[in-house]
Homo-oligomer: A and B are copies of this chain.
Amino acid sequence: MKNDGHACEAWQLLLRLFFAQRAILPPLAAELELSPAQCHVLHLIEPGRPVPMGQLADTLACDASNVTGLVDRLESRGLIRRQPSSADRRVKVLDLTPTGSRLRALLLDRMEKPPDTLRRLSEREQRTLVRLLTRLIE
A residues contacting B by CB (< 8 A) are 2-24, 26-27, 40, 43, 59-62, 111-115, 117-123, 125-130, 132-138
Contacts and interface: CB of A to CB of B under 8 A. Distances in A.
Contacts of A26: 61-62
A80 to B, nearest CB: 18
> Does more than half of chain A's interface fall in helix, strand or loop, or is it mixed?
helix
B130 A4 contact: no
Contact of A133 (B10, B40, B119, B130): B10
Contacts of A125: 132
Given A3-B119, A3-B123, A18-B21, A114 B11 contact: yes
A128 B136 CA distance: 14
A114 B40 contact: no
Contacts of A7: 114, 118-119, 121, 126
B118 A23 contact: no
B130 A23 contact: no
